[in-house]
Amino acid sequence: MVIHTYSVIIQNQKTMEAFSQYQPLFAEAINSGRIGVCKWIEAGTTIDTALPEIGNLTDDKKEWRAVIVRYIDDNCMASFESDARNPYDFLINRDSEDSVEESPIPLVRLTQMLGGVPPLEIKFKAEILREAHKAPRTIYVPIEDAQRERAYKELTAKYAFDGKLPSSILVISVRSKSYQAESLGQSWLAHKESESSEFWKRNHFPSICRFMVYDIEKQGPIQKEADDFGFWYADEQSYEEMISALQTYVSQVEEECGVMESAGNDCVDNTDGDPAASTSNEKLQQCVGKIRSATESIQGIIAALQQELEDIREAAAKANQTD
C-alpha cells in the first residue's frame, strides 16, 4: 500500500502565473487531495501575512510537506543576489555575524516560519581551573548572552503558528546553466558535506529544509519553453538519479559513522579505559547518534520521491491508455 503525504506547493505571484499554464498536469493530484497550492506573499513577516491560505489547506491534515517553488522571484526576493552555483547562498550573508534578528530575505523568513528559527549556537570560553594538589587545567564554560536569548525568544514567538507545521520542507529553485553542468545525481554528490553545512548555517535555514535546483539555459524562447515544461513536468530519469544519489549519500554517511564508532572504541581500548578517553568517546558516540538521526529525514525524502515517481508512472500509463 502506498501512503501519500499531503504536499502543499508554495509559490509567489509570478511563479503561480507560470504554474497556471501547466496546472492541468497536476489536476488529478489536486482533485484527489494529494496536493494543494498556496500563494506566498514575499513581503509577509508572519505565517498569516506570508501564507494566508495555509491554515485552510492543512488544518484537517495529519501530516503535510511544504514544497516551496522559486521559478520566478518577485521584487522582494529578486533584490537579494546569490551565488551563481548555489541560489540558496545569499551574498548578504557571506560575512554575517551570529546575530539573532529577522532576516530581510523572504525565503529565509518563510523557512523559519515553517521549520522554526535555528537554535542558538552555544559558545564557550576557556578558563584555567586551579585545584589544590592538582596541576592547572583548561576547561570550557558556556557564555551566557541574555540579549541574544531574549531576541531569539521574541523572533520565535513572532513566527508561532497555531496550526500544524510541516514534517519536512523541500525548496526548489531554478539556476542558470552558466557552466558545464553534471547530471542531476552527480550534482548532488559533487559538493563536500562541510561546504553544505556552512551554507545552510550561514544563511540560517532550519535543519528540516532540503534544497534542489533545476538548471535552465538562456538560449531564446524555444529553449525557454522546453525549460518551462521540463521544470513543471519531472521525468523519471531525474527522479531515479536523485533517489540513487541520496541512497548513496546515506550509505556513505553510515559507513563513516561506523569508522568513527570503531575509532572511538579503539582509543578507549588502547588507553586501558582512560577516563578522559572514555568521556571523549561518549561524546563522539552521541554525535554519531545525532548524525544517524539526521539521515532518517533523508530516508523520508527518498520514500517521498519514490512515491512521487510511482505517481508519475501511473499518470503516464493513464495518458498512454487515453492515446
Inform me whether the pLDDT recorded for 221 exceeds 70: no
CB 171 within 8 A of CB 212: yes
What is the structure's pLDDT at 134?
84
- The larger pLDDT score, comparing residue 197 to residue 177, is at 177
Average pLDDT over residues 173-201: 57
Residue boundaries of the structural domains of the chain: 6-117+162-233, 235-323
Inform me whether the pLDDT recorded for 2 exceeds 50: no
What is the structure's pLDDT at 99?
73
Burial (0-12, 13-18, 19+ Cβ within 10 Å), 303:
middle
DSSP line for 2-44: PPPPEEEEEE-HHHHHHHHTTGGGGHHHHHTTSEEEEE--TT-
Rounded-to-integer distance, Cα 257 and Cα 248, Å: 14
Inform me whether the pLDDT recorded for 188 exceeds 60: no
Question: Predicted confidence band at 202 (pLDDT cuts at 50, 70, 90)?
Answer: confident
Q: 46-102, pLDDT tens digit by residue?
A: 999 999 999 999 999 999 999 999 988 998 999 999 888 888 999 988 776 667 889
- The larger pLDDT score, comparing residue 176 to residue 256, is at 256
Question: What is the 8-class DSSP label of residue 176?
Answer: E
What is the structure's pLDDT at 131?
84
Average pLDDT over residues 19-31: 78
Inform me whether the pLDDT recorded for 191 exceeds 50: no
Domain 6-117+162-233: CATH class, spelled out: alpha beta
Inform me whether the pLDDT recorded for 27 exceeds 60: yes
Average pLDDT over residues 2-8: 71
Question: Predicted confidence band at 187 (pLDDT cuts at 50, 70, 90)?
Answer: very low
- The larger pLDDT score, comparing residue 240 to residue 104, is at 104
Question: Predicted confidence band at 44 (pLDDT cuts at 50, 70, 90)?
Answer: very high
DSSP line for 76-130: HHHTS-B-SS-TTSBGGGTT--S-----SSHHHHHHHHHH-PPPPPP-EEEEEE-
Inform me whether the pLDDT recorded for 179 exceeds 60: no
What is the structure's pLDDT at 232?
56
CB 241 within 8 A of CB 183: yes
Q: 87-114, pLDDT tens digit by residue?
A: 899 998 877 666 788 999 999 999 999 9
Average pLDDT over residues 285-314: 77
Inform me whether the pLDDT recorded for 1 exceeds 90: no
Average pLDDT over residues 25-37: 83
Inform me whether the pLDDT recorded for 258 exceeds 60: yes
- The larger pLDDT score, comparing residue 213 to residue 15, is at 15
CB 306 within 8 A of CB 2: no
- The larger pLDDT score, comparing residue 313 to residue 42, is at 42
What is the structure's pLDDT at 181?
46
